[in-house]
Chain A
Amino acid sequence: MEISVTVNGVKHTAEVEGRTLLVHFVREQLGMTGTNIGCDTSSCGACSVHLDGEAVKSCTILAVQADGTEITTIEGMAGADGTLHPMQQAFMENHGLQCGYCTPGMVMAATSLLKENPNPTEEDVRLGLEGNLCRCTGYHNIVQSVLAAAKA
């Protein structure tokens, strides 16, 4: 069926199968591969994008369910001139990544968290990122990054 989705401010109209997952639509049909697939079982959060401003796991949403919505992916976070989003900047400055595989999902989940809770405690950040797994950092610097971005 035909869907129409605004991704990073650009409207896309496309034909998808009912079973096409949002993450495959974004990566394969739109060619935006910043959104990663980690577990593919709704657990790791690597595939997190914003749907109408809220973090969701795009491996567990059908593209048809996103019809008519606004999606933001990691590609939509930096400014048009390449200026990093404050969350991306904070991850860079606080060494919030090692291999970087979880990072797009972390950034999307963390920005959604700050929207709901602009002044989180460390505990709030840890709980707020419970849906995102990182196999490298031990989380410490990710949490520091998010706290730094909240102050930025």
Chain B
Amino acid sequence: MIPAAFDYARASSAEEAIALIGQYGDEAKFLAGGHSLLPLMKLRLAQPTVLVDIGRVPDLSYIREEGDQIAIGALTRHMDVETSPLLHQHVPLLAHAAGHVGDPQVRHRGTIGGSIAHADPASDLPATTLALGATYVAKGPNGTREIAAADFYHGFLTSALEADEMLVEIRVPKMNGAGWSFQKFNRRAQDWAIVGVAAWRRNGDAGVALVNMGSVPILATDVASAASSRIGSAIRRVTNWLDTSLAAAQADPQPDLNASADYRVHLAKVLTRRALEAASA
């Protein structure tokens, strides 16, 4: 399968990439690792007329310590997130989740920025950074702005990013020794999660987010108080929250080839329990 024809432009800086996208307008798209966009283009589910390749922009691939946060350049590849000693030390949940993305070949190409910008609710890193309370940094023609992960995901494959805005950095708070767990349920090793749960827990505080339980990654609200309570009541709180958000259609799992909506709800409860138990062990 071959994508529909398009014009190709390679940007050598974020500024140039944003100017190029601005110049070509709506039909243009950034190309980072290409591991979400190219499969869609091969199936002709996406047909951008221009690709602005940001894969060679220098200085956007880094992982560094900044006070109580770790800053990750948008073009950092999954493999580099997975193997980063700094992340293993300070944000082990994210390094671990990155190791569950696809397979090694995919992780050699795909980037954290591409994964988040793509805003696929079935992807691992949107939910994981959401659970961790990350902040995303977007750069546009008028400068940069910070977007809280909790405000970023607007709908299936749509986010708070403007068409001419580029994601440049992901900032993740250090976990300070919190217990954590990443539960990913799939049928074959390289697959996306049928349902996934990213969770961390530390005395008085916790974060839980769900993969593939609706059109956006879903952050469990009202779990912080659960963090200080006993594990049994913490789990009950989160599953009650899940029932409430299902009723309110915030969580809105869809049936597909792999699972019915009911089965997804069942999985979400089982995996949340496992995740909170593991994070509390």
Contacts and interface: CB of A to CB of B under 8 A. Distances in A.
Interface of A: 1, 17-21, 24, 40-43, 45, 48, 51, 54-57, 60-62, 64-65, 109, 112-113, 116, 127-128, 130-132
Interface string B88-120: 000000000000001111101100000000000
A131 B105 CA distance: 7
Contacts of A61: 34, 38, 109
Contacts of B104: 55, 109, 112-113, 116, 128, 130-131
A56 to B, nearest CB: 5
Contact of A41 (B3, B8, B42, B108): B42
Interface residues of B, number: 31
A51 to B, nearest CB: 8
A19 B35 contact: no
Contacts of B79: 54
Interface of B: 1-8, 10, 31, 34-35, 38-39, 41-43, 51, 53, 55, 79, 102-106, 108-109, 188-190
A60 B39 contact: yes
Contacts of B41: 19
B55 A65 contact: yes
Contact of B7 (A18, A21, A56, A57): A18
A20 B38 CA distance: 11
Nearest to B109: A56
